[in-house]
């Protein structure tokens, strides 16, 4: 299961960049700290289920988009 969670940071960064929002803007829109967004993208920490839900909703993202690989 760890290999799946390791895809989260790069996928979050890609989704954020594709949407054209900064880490600061994303953090404000989600009501979380900017450092949290940075840590998620750098894989220093992972979101709570509540924040994961906010992120999925914000990007209208499927689990595959959040945790999948580029091959999926």
State whether residue 67 is helix, strand or coil.
Answer: helix
> What's the pTM?
0.88
Residue 29, token pair as written in the block: 């829109």
Instruction: State which fold the 2-61 domain adopts.
Output: 434 Repressor (Amino-terminal Domain) (1.10.260)
Residue 4 CA to residue 62 CA, distance in Å, equals 14
Nearest to 29 by CA among 54, 4, 10: 54
Instruction: Judge contact between 67 and 11, C-beta under 8 A.
Output: yes
Per-residue pLDDT 10s for the chain (72 aa) are 456 688 999 999 999 999 999 999 999 999 999 999 999 999 999 999 999 999 999 999 988 889 987 666
Q: Residue ranges per domain, the chain?
A: 2-61
Backbone angles phi, psi at 54, to 5 degrees: -60, -45
């Amino acid at each position: 299961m760890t290999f799946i969670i390791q895809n989260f940071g790069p996928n979050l960064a890609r989704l954020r960049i594709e949407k054209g929002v900064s880490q600061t803007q994303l953090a404000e829109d989600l009501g979380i700290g900017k450092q949290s967004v940075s840590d998620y993208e750098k894989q220093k920490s992972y979101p709570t289920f509540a924040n994961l839900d906010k992120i999925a909703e914000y990007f209208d993202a499927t689990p595959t988009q959040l945790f999948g690989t580029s091959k999926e």
